Structure 1
Amino acid sequence: MKKVIYALILPLVVVSGLVFANREIKNETSKKSTPRPLSAAEMKAARKRWEATPDGIMYKKWEASPEGKKVLAGAAKIRKHTSASTNMEAVVTSLSLPPGSRLGFGVMARINGEDYILSFGLENSNEFQQLHSLKVNDKIIVRSHSVSYAPKYSYPIVSGDYVERDSIIIYKRAPRKGGC
């Protein structure tokens, strides 16, 4: 009887030991795979390295040029509105984007006396159908969550989240699925 009990307990001990050993190995690999965030000094060093590259040098020259200063000033002018996602009055100035732009569907708009690229993203099936009804000189209300810029473009780029014309919503960006 004693031998039978030992024969049953021995495999149980071996199997449980293997299970615990395997669990510890998985925990160790998951700890190693998560990179730690960069410190401020590391980010500053990475930026310095990038500024020494040809792209970084070109960007710094653009930033110091009159065109770059104009674009940066325009972006700063509406940054308060974009960070709070508040309404901005705009007038559509062109129904097409500058030649060579790869921003998807968008229009040119004047907000507070400055020209901006109002970009909505890659054109999907019916998502922008009501936006196609916009005409030059239409007065619209725009909300955005971000303004960006690039040396390739002579205007700041406003990503459109919400557009209203004559108190009628003609576009509202759908929230991201599976995100926060």
Structure 2
Amino acid sequence: MKKIIYTLLLPLVVVGGAVFANREIKNETSKKSTPKPSGGVPLSDAERKSALKKWEATPDGVMFKKWEASPAGKKVYAGEAKIRKHISAFTNMEAVVTSLSLPLGSRLGFGVMVRINGDDYIVKFEPEKSQLEQLHSLKVNDKIIIRSHSVSHAPKYAYPIVSGEYVELDGKVIFKRTPRKGRC
């Protein structure tokens, strides 16, 4: 009887010891690792400026700085400045649809090209399947009302990129972005 108990107890002791030793090793390595900013801890201004300086020295950073200084980059920034007040206040912007497709090679998903106050913009949408049919009803030269909270840019595109959050056509709402679950 004692032999059976010892036979069953011995593997339990060995496995328990291995688990305990492994936990100790993991604790030691986690203590030695360098602390990195986590998702909830904001960087200080000095850290942010230092990180930006490092990035600007990379090939991508150099290319981006050249694009910003180029006529194409200045044109995009000027277009963003023209609609900044509407974006900040989430107010109506009158637009005319100029193209139902985005520039060749674009990876923005579904969107259209529009003209607002004489400047061209990309309007990208993140529609649900039920909203696609209404957005596909748009035609070139349709006059629409757009509202958005954000405008962005990328060297790949010669136009500012407006995130379409609300679109109205002939007084009817055809698109209203639904907030994603689990996000603010």
Is the TM value for this pair above 0.5? yes
TM-score by length of 2: 0.77
Q: Does 1:72 align with 2:77?
A: yes
Which residue in 1 is equivalent to 2:169? Answer: 165
Within 2, Cα distance between the matches of 1:48 and 1:99? 32
**Which of 84, 91, 94 is equivalent to 1:89?**
94
Structure 2 SS opposite 1:134: coil
Letter in 2 for 1:38: L
Alpha-carbon distance change, 96 to 47 in structure 1, aligned in 2, over 3 angstroms? same
Within 1, Cα distance between the matches of 2:150 and 2:132? 19
Which residue in 1 is equivalent to 2:50? Answer: 45
Q: Does 1:137 align with 2:113?
A: no
Within 2, Cα distance between the matches of 1:77 and 1:176? 29
Letter in 2 for 1:158: V
Within 2, Cα distance between the matches of 1:34 and 1:58? 27
Within 2, Cα distance between the matches of 1:60 and 1:93? 30
Letter in 2 for 1:61: K
Structure 2 SS opposite 1:80: helix
Unaligned runs of 5+ in 2: 1-30
Which residue in 2 is equivalent to 1:19? Answer: none
Within 2, Cα distance between the matches of 1:129 and 1:33? 45
Which residue in 2 is equivalent to 1:56? Answer: 61
Unaligned runs of 5+ in 1: 1-28
Letter in 1 for 2:45: A
Alpha-carbon distance change, 179 to 124 in structure 1, aligned in 2, over 3 angstroms? closer
Q: Does 1:105 align with 2:105?
A: no
Structure 1 SS opposite 2:151: strand
Letter in 1 for 2:144: I
Cα offsets for 1:62-104 (capped at 9, x unmatched): 0000000000110111111111111100000000000000000
Q: Does 1:151 align with 2:155?
A: yes
* % same residue: 72
